């Protein structure tokens, strides 16, 4: 029975992970949900109810604690913990559609909601699953208060990053500068003490462009995953893994990496090999960093349509986190190209990337990426069709082309405009390059 319980838990984690990335109707999610249900249904025919408890951060069933599974089921543990759920009960009579709906409701449930989750489940027609606390309600309320208390004054860089990641869950915008400076502080602390972070210090010395790229991709990946609804812990894990995605480039000759002319076939092969070399190097650090950095280093150039590299003799569907990092990776590579190629506007980046929907990129994820980031990201200096100049302050989820813009010139037009609510003829015309014609407006950023 224990083996089959473990089997169910792993299937259940797969279904929850799939639902984080895909819609409720997506075949990937439906398939994983179906597999989890098959396992659970078999178990319930033998023993009902099936009760799981969360004890000191570990999942337990009867007197069995699944410590050896904890890394593989950690994502579901943090989903439950984030929502204050310490007890899960499954009863006979459960239908597949109920389990599938339960997963969606679980992920949608607001951590600080005043509604009791089990009542919420019943009101939505889920009658054979209960989810709640082990503690008495009075203690639970006291627990909430302590969570709300302000952070300690003497925060470490790591704590500050965690607070920033948490704030990404509640605020829709991305404070890139704050996150970047904290990430740098964090790396300074860690590269002096933890051997796995020394590799990043190596990259910084050897290749500043790659180092900045790693930081940017990590920040973008954290922003994207938090907006997708991943838990704080998942966001941190994917952000950390993204930091190392190109670590294999340490082994690639700098001259090849910076070559602006056409690459020879053997040079191209050496660059492609950074995926395998990176994964191999990160295998030494799985005790501290986990397995996700290995997977992402290996898979981040595998495309959604199964092309890309490393070339494999078998067909593999990349990990959802690899799909996420792939999008952030290409976005940053194109955005960096913009810094020296004046006409490479954010809109052009959008057009280039969206054309690869379903080929290079997972179709739903690429849509959602631009929905969260906007075609004209926060901080872009733009000129509008009426000749005014402004800074994009926020993306508009409902219209990715029409962000909120703060007009800074001319004087009489100063103020914040929500373009979606403005007359249709008023639109973003183009981005001003902050290294060229937009230089005068840099102090307003």
> For binding to Fe ion (CB under 5 A), which residues are involved?
246, 329
User: Which CB atom, from 105 or from 334, has the smaller least distance to Fe ion?
Assistant: 334
User: Which CB atom, from 252 or from 389, has the smaller least distance to Fe ion?
Assistant: 252
User: Which CB atom, from 158 or from 276, has the smaller least distance to Fe ion?
Assistant: 276
**Min CB(55)–Fe ion separation in Å:** 40
Q: Identify any residues that bridge with 302 across adjacent strands, giving them in sequence order.
A: 308
**CA–CA gap between residue 382 and residue 414 (Å, rounded):** 14
**Min CB(320)–Fe ion separation in Å:** 18
Nearest alpha-carbon partner for 250 in 215, 217, 279, 290: 279
**Min CB(274)–Fe ion separation in Å:** 6
Nearest alpha-carbon partner for 249 in 202, 314, 318: 202
**Min CB(318)–Fe ion separation in Å:** 13
**CA–CA gap between residue 393 and residue 379 (Å, rounded):** 6
- Compute and round to an integer the Cα radius of gyration of the chain: 24
Tokens of 181: 């400076």
DSSP secondary structure, 90-111, as one string: E-TT--HHHHHHHHHHHHHS-T
Kind and range of the H or E run holding 226: helix 208-228
In degrees and rounded to multiples of 5, residue 312 shows phi and psi of -115, 150
**Min CB(354)–Fe ion separation in Å:** 20
Q: For residue 389, how many other CB atoms are within 10 A of its CB? A: 20
**Maximum Cα interatomic distance, the chain, rounded to a whole number of Å:** 75
User: Which CB atom, from 128 or from 281, has the smaller least distance to Fe ion?
Assistant: 281
**Min CB(217)–Fe ion separation in Å:** 6
Tokens of 386: 């009426």
**Min CB(269)–Fe ion separation in Å:** 14
User: Which CB atom, from 299 or from 396, has the smaller least distance to Fe ion?
Assistant: 299
User: Which CB atom, from 246 or from 394, has the smaller least distance to Fe ion?
Assistant: 246
Q: Identify any residues that bridge with 65 across adjacent strands, giving them in sequence order.
A: 60
Q: What is the DSSP letter of 309?
A: S
User: Which CB atom, from 101 or from 243, has the smaller least distance to Fe ion?
Assistant: 243
**Min CB(250)–Fe ion separation in Å:** 12
User: Which CB atom, from 140 or from 212, has the smaller least distance to Fe ion?
Assistant: 212
Is omega for the bond preceding 410 within 30 degrees of 0, making it cis? yes
Q: For residue 375, how many other CB atoms are within 10 A of its CB? A: 24
**Min CB(309)–Fe ion separation in Å:** 10
**CA–CA gap between residue 230 and residue 327 (Å, rounded):** 17
User: Which CB atom, from 242 or from 432, has the smaller least distance to Fe ion?
Assistant: 242
Nearest alpha-carbon partner for 226 in 156, 180, 163: 163
Question: Rounded to 10 degrees, what is the CA torsion of 107, 110, 114, 119?
Answer: -10
């Amino acid at each position: 029975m224990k083996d089959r319980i473990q089997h169910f838990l792993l299937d259940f984690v797969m279904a929850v992970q799939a639902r984080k990335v895909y819609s409720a109707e997506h075949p990937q999610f439906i398939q994983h949900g179906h597999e989890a249900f098959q396992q659970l249904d078999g178990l319930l025919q033998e023993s009902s109810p099936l009760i799981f408890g969360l004890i000191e951060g570990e999942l337990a069933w009867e007197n069995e604690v699944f410590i050896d599974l904890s890394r593989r089921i950690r994502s579901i543990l943090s989903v439950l913990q984030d929502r204050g759920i310490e007890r899960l009960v499954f009863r006979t009579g459960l239908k597949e559609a109920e389990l599938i709906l339960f997963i969606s409701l679980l992920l949608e449930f607001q951590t600080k909601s005043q509604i009791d989750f089990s009542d919420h489940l019943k009101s939505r027609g889920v009658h054979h699953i209960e989810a709640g606390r082990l503690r008495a309600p009075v203690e639970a309320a006291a627990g909430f208060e302590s969570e709300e208390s302000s952070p300690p004054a003497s925060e470490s860089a790591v704590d500050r990053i965690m607070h920033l990641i948490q704030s990404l869950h509640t605020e829709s915008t991305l404070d890139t500068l704050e996150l970047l400076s904290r990430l740098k502080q964090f790396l300074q602390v860690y590269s002096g003490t933890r051997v796995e972070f020394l590799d990043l210090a190596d990259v910084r010395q050897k290749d500043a462009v790659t180092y900045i790229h790693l930081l940017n991709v990590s920040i973008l990946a954290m922003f994207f995953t938090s907006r997708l609804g991943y838990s704080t812990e998942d966001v941190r894990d994917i952000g950390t893994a993204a930091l190392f995605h190109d670590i294999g480039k340490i082994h690639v000759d700098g001259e090849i990496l910076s070559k602006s002319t056409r690459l020879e076939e053997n040079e191209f092969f050496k660059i492609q090999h950074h995926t395998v070399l990176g994964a191999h190097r990160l295998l030494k650090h799985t005790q501290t960093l986990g397995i996700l950095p290995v997977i992402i280093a290996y898979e981040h150039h595998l495309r959604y349509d199964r092309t890309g590299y490393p070339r494999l003799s078998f067909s593999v569907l990349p990990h959802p986190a690899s799909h996420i990092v792939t999008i952030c990776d290409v976005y940053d590579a194109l955005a960096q190209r913009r810094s020296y190629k004046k006409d490479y506007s954010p809109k052009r980046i959008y057009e280039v990337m969206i054309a690869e929907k379903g080929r290079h990129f997972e179709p739903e994820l690429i849509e959602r990426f631009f929905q969260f980031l906007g075609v004209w990201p926060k901080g872009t200096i733009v000129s509008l069709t009426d000749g005014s100049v402004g800074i994009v302050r926020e993306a508009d989820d409902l219209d990715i082309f029409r962000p909120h813009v703060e007009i800074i010139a001319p004087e009489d037009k100063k103020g914040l405009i929500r373009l979606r609510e403005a007359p249709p003829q008023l639109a973003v015309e183009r981005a001003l390059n902050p290294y060229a014609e937009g230089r005068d407006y840099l102090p307003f950023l």
